[in-house]
Amino acid sequence: MRVVTIVCPPALRERLPAALGPDVEVVTFPQEACNTAEHDGDFRPDDVVISMEMRRPGGMTPKLGLVQLSGAGTDRIDLATVDPSIPVCNVFDHEIPIAEYVIATMLEWQIRLGAMRQGFTAETWASRTAAPATHGELYGKTLGVVGFGRIGKEAAVRASAFGMKVIAVARRPDGGPADEVHPTEALADVLPRCDFVLDTLPLTEATRGLFDATMLAAMKPTGVIINVGRGGTIDEEALFEALSKKTIGGAIIDVWYQYPREPGEAPPPSRFDFFSLDNVIMTPHASAITDALWDRRAATIAENVRRLQAGEPLLNVVRAAQ
């Protein structure tokens, strides 16, 4: 069996040979192999293709053993152009670092450790209890978690440990580590109760622009929205407007609206100048990226390759073979 990496993070690609073992060959194809028929003759029917992207406008992929995403998001995979005989799986293992990121950024929002350190001088030492040195705390605050899956539940466990109240909004209210769980239809009623709103949603037709101007207006004037799901789940212009006019307290943004997709591309993360705002913490879609993440994902993918060879049920099936 052969594993073909296409749109795959280099750090993961480096770990795959050790995780897969010496009997599995690992090769890399260029990005156009995802989106054109140019390299179709180079694929083998039992290849495992690892890629975050697979689109064939007007065509269909060749026969393959498995399409394995190197991450969780499926919005760059056009399942209609992936041959129906091919199972499609994704991989998670990112919920731990993202949940830690959520806690870290909420703590930074409340404590402002960076500003506190910058403001500490010999001259200010005598007035250390004055207003510039005081800060908030997470204890007693309310976190609303929108999308109560793997990330949301891990964040809820950690937020509860800090004495926060957790209110979850989910398609399938199935309990979990939250004080309250409400259906998606109740989102507008939940938002005014939350000091922080955590968006962990995938990008689908149902979630695209879910946080529009109306939803953002339902938040507390001091409320902070945290997006670790997908940029498009929050209306780009409405978010910039709410932050610019300070009708909400702020935002913590790790996922964006424009990404480089081809070599040499360098679009800004948004059409709007979020960098000019003073009520935003911005990071470059890096909340999940730790060394341990790539080791876990390599191990999960290797297990799926083993299961495929053994004819056993696959992990994290997005679409089963038909």
| 134 burial level (CB within 10 Å; 0-12, 13-18, 19+) | exposed
| 256 burial level (CB within 10 Å; 0-12, 13-18, 19+) | buried
Return d(Cα 9, Cα 16) in angstroms, integer: 11
- Structure-derived torsion over alpha carbons of residues 82, 288, 316, 263, reported in degrees to the nearest 10: 10
Per-residue pLDDT of the chain (322 residues; tens, 9 = 90+): 899 999 999 999 999 999 999 999 999 999 999 999 999 999 999 999 999 999 988 789 999 999 999 999 998 999 999 999 999 999 999 999 999 999 999 999 999 998 888 888 888 887 766 555 678 999 999 999 999 999 999 999 999 999 999 999 998 877 689 999 999 999 999 999 999 999 999 999 999 999 999 999 999 999 999 999 999 999 999 999 999 999 999 999 999 999 998 778 899 999 999 999 999 999 999 999 999 999 999 999 999 999 999 999 999 999 999 9
What size, in residues, is the chain? Answer: 322
Return d(Cα 110, Cα 135) in angstroms, integer: 6
Same fold across 2-93+291-319 and 95-282: yes
Q: Which of 49, 50, 87, 84 is nearest to 70 (CA)?
A: 50
Residue 128 pLDDT: 67
- Radius of gyration, CA atoms only, the chain: 22
Pure H helices in 58-165? 95-111, 113-118, 150-161
Residue 147 pLDDT: 94
Residue 178 pLDDT: 96
Residue 239 pLDDT: 98
Architecture of domain 95-282: 3-Layer(aba) Sandwich (3.40)
Rounded to 5°, the CA angle 119-97-257 comes to 80
Three-state SS at 196: strand
- Beta 250-253 vs 280-282: how paired, if at all? parallel
Percent composition of the chain: helix, strand, coil (DSSP 3-state, to 5): 35, 15, 50
Residue 117 pLDDT: 86
Return d(Cα 52, Cα 12) in angstroms, integer: 12
Residue 197 pLDDT: 98
**Domain ranges in the chain?**
2-93+291-319, 95-282
Question: Which one-letter DSSP state was computed for residue 23?
Answer: T
pTM of the model: 0.90
Query: Are 223 and 247 spatial neighbours (Cβ–Cβ below 8 Å)?
Result: no
For domain 2-93+291-319, the CATH superfamily is: NAD(P)-binding Rossmann-like Domain (3.40.50.720)
Return d(Cα 84, Cα 305) in angstroms, integer: 19
- List the catalytic residues: 230, 262, 285
